[in-house]
Amino acid sequence: MEPDAKVDHWAREVIGAAIEIHRILGPGFRESVYEEAFAYELRLRSIPYQRRLRIPILYKEIAAGFGRLDFLVDGCLVVDTKASEGLHPLYTSQVISYLKAMDLHLGLLINFNETLLKNGVRRVVRT
């Protein structure tokens, strides 16, 4: 199932914000620097978001624990920011798990620690 037009719109806007941050800061900083800059850039662009959102992880009928989303854009797009050596497959699995937990279909994994940001952006679709 492909995400609807609203989610795709926000994905394009979020990627544009990430490109602006990467253009100015470049790679090499800690993840917290990019996360703070990303929140600021989203505010500047009037992109609605929630940050560090705590979500329950359900196992059958119980809450088995909680996860923490870096960003949830307009209640429909999960965004996970990284500043790491490449995108480990575990990061993608984590985004898929958050999408399942929230019953959403699209997430973006953005690794700012790349020379070219396009190599650090992964679109994650829950099918």
Q: What's the pLDDT tens digit per position in 13-27?
A: 999 999 999 999 999
Domain that holds residue 72: 5-125
Separation between Cα atoms, residue 47 and residue 7, nearest integer Å: 12
First to last CA, the chain: 6
pTM over 0.75: yes
Q: What's the pLDDT tens digit per position in 78-87?
A: 999 999 998 8
Q: What's the pLDDT tens digit per position in 56-85?
A: 999 998 999 999 999 999 999 999 999 999
* The two structure tokens encoding residue 116: 């070219």
**Which residue from 77, 12, 80 is spatially nearest to 49, judged by alpha carbons?**
77
Instruction: Provide the domain count of the chain.
Output: 1
CATH number at residue 81: 3.90.320.10
